Structure 1
Amino acid sequence: MDVRLDGRSALITGGSLGIGRAIALRYAESGGRVAIVARRQETLDEAAAAIKEATGADVVTIAADISTAQGCEIACDIAQAQLGAVDILVNNAGSSKRGPFASHDDSVWQADLDLKLFAAIRLCRRLMPEMQQRRWGRVINILNTGAKAPPAEGAPTAVTRAAGMALTKAMATEYAPYNVLVNALLVGRIESDQWVKRHASENGNRSLEDYYAEMGETIPMGRVGTAEEFAAVATLLASKEGGYVTGTAINIDGGLCPVV
C-alpha cells in the first residue's frame, strides 16, 4: 500500500529531532508539505536541510517555545502563513522527567503540563475550527505508554500523558462528525535523541548499540523500535487510508506495555 499525503500540510511540534524529525521526513516523502517547530533554530535548520536533501521538499521551520501561549500563536501564525492551511497537527513536543514523587515541586509539574498538555490544547483550539469547517483534519498526539501503565517515579510525565489520552478521546468524539480524526500514539522504547542523551550520561563502557541491545532484552519483540517504524504509523493515521480510525491510543512498543 502506497500511503500518500499529496496536497496535505502538517504542523509537527518537536520536529527537529528524533521521532518528530522522522515523522516530518516520512510526511515529506509521502508528498505532504511540512512545518516543524522547536525552540532552537540551529537544530531546525539541520533537520530541514536533511529532509530537503532526502526528498527535495522545502520544510518550514518555526523557532518557538510552545510551552507558552505566545509560542503556540507564533507557531500557528507562521504555519498558516507559509502553508495556507494546516490539515494535520502532530503534537510531539515533550521530554521525559522521572524521579521520586516528593522531589517534584509545583514548578516541575507546571512546566510538564504546559509543554505536554496545554500546548496541545492551545494548538488544537486554534487549528481545529478550520479543520472542522473544511471537514477534513487529523490530530495525532504523541504520548507514551506510561499514560496507560504509569511506572514508579513516572510522575509527572505519566500523569500528563494520561490527561493527553483523555483529551484525545474527548476531541475525537466531538469532531468525528466533521471528519476531523484525533488519535494518540504511545511511545514505548524507540530509538531517539532522548535515549542518546541518557546513554551519554549513564555510559560506562557500553556502546550505544549495546545500550539499545540491553534495553531490547526486556521487550517481547527482543529489540528497541526505530523512529522510522513509529513514523510509518503516524503517516497511516494522517492519510486517507486511516480515514476510519479515531479516538484510539495505539501502543508502539514491541509488546512491552501490559495494557492494550
Structure 2
Amino acid sequence: MDLGLKGKSVLVTAASKGLGKASALEFAREGALVTIASRNLQELQKAAADIEEATGQKVHIAQMDVTRAEDIHHAVREAAVFGNGLDVLVTNAGGPPGGTFDDFTDETWVNAFELNLLSAVRLIRASLPYMREKGAGRIVTITSSSIKQPIPGLILSNTFRAGINGLTKSLSMELAEDNILINTVAPGRIATDRVAELDHLKAEQKGVPVEEVKAEAIAQIPLGRYGSPEEFGRAVVFLGSFANSYITGQAVLVDGGMVKAF
C-alpha cells in the first residue's frame, strides 16, 4: 500500500528514543522528510544517525523543550523549512512522575499540565497555519491506554492523557473542513525505557523481583507479550498518512488486547 508519505514533511516530538523515535523511523521508511525534536541534543543526534542508517533518509533535528512555547515555534519552523511546509504532526512528550493524589503539589500538577496537555495544544496551534496553507494535514497525538482504563499510581498521566483525547476528539470536528484529520494512538505495555522504569518502580514498591511484575502484566495481555516500539510506530504512521482519508477523531489502542473497555 502506498501511504502517500514520500516527500511529505513530518514533525515528531520527544523523538530521541522510545515511541517517538520508533514513529519517526517508520515515517522515514516511507520516504517522508522527517524532523525529530527533543531536549537532549546528543540523544537527538544519535537518533537521527540511527534512523538515517536504517532508512537512507536524511533526518533533520530541532532541539526543543515541549514546556517552552518559544521552543515549540522554533521546532515547527525548522520542520517547515526542512520539508517545504508541514504535512504531518505527531505530538509526543515524556510521562509525568508516578504517584497518587496525596503525593503532588499544585506545582507538580501545573508542570504535568504543561508537559503533556499544553504542549499538544501549542504544537497543534503552531502547525495549523502550514497545514491550512497546503489544504490538508494529518495530526497524531500519542497518549496512553489510560484514556480507556486508568492506571493505578499514574494519576497525573491518567488526567492529562485523557485531556489530550478530549482535545483530539473536539479538534476532529473543528478541523474537518480544512481536510486535517486528527487521531490519538494509545500505547499499552510497549517495551520502552519508560515502561521498564515503571516496572522497576512497581517492583520496588511491592518488594518483589521486576520479573514478577512483568509476568503479572503479561498475564493481562491476550497476545501474551509486551509490544515492540516498531509495532506502535506503524500504527502512528498509518493514521498520520494520506492513505488514511476517512479516519478522524478516533482513539486507537496498541495494547495487544490488554484494555477490556469498549
Matches within 5 A, 1:97-116: 97-116=97-116
Q: Which residue of 1 aligns with 2:129?
A: 129
Paired position in structure 1 for 2:154: 154
The amino acid that maps onto 1:223 is: R
* Alignment pair present for 1:187 and 2:183: no
Q: List structure 1 segments (4+ residues) > 6 angstroms apart after TM superposition.
A: none
Partner of 2:260: 258
Does the residue aligned with 1:186 lie in a helix, a strand or coil?
A: strand
Match of residue 88 from structure 2: 88
Q: Structure 1: which amino acid aligns with 2:168? A: T
Structure 1 window deviating more from structure 2 (110-119 vs 2-11): it is 2-11
Letter in 2 for 1:230: F
Displacement after TM superposition at 1:258 (Å): 2.5
Residues 93-149 of structure 1, C-alpha deviations (whole Å, 9 max, x = no match): 121422120111111111111011111111111111221232210000000011222
* Partner deviation per Cα, 1:40-66 (whole Å, 9 max, x = no partner): 001101111111111111111111111
Mapping of residues 1-260 of structure 1, within 5 Å? 1-198=1-198, 202=203, 212-260=214-262
Which SS does the other structure have where 1:242 is aligned? Answer: coil
Structure 2 residue ranges without an equivalent (≥5): none
| Cα deviation, residue 205, structure 1 | 6.3
C-alpha change, 1:193 and 1:4, in structure 2 (3 Å) is farther
Q: Contact (CA 8 Å) 1:216, 1:222: kept in 2 or not?
A: yes
RMSD between aligned alpha carbons?
A: 1.9
Please give the alpha-carbon distance, in whole angstroms, between the structure 1 residues aligned to 2:4 and 2:18: 22
Counterpart contact for 2:96–2:156, Cα < 8 Å: no
TM-score (norm 1): 0.92
Please report the TM-score for the alignment, with normalisation by the length of structure 2.
0.92
The separation in 2 between residues aligned to 1:198 and 1:22, in whole angstroms, is: 20
Amino acid at match of 2:246: Y
- Equivalent residues of 1:140, 1:234 under 8 A apart: yes
Number of paired residues? Answer: 258
Alpha-carbon shift at residue 212 of structure 1 (Å): 4.8
Q: Percent identity?
A: 34
Letter in 2 for 1:118: L
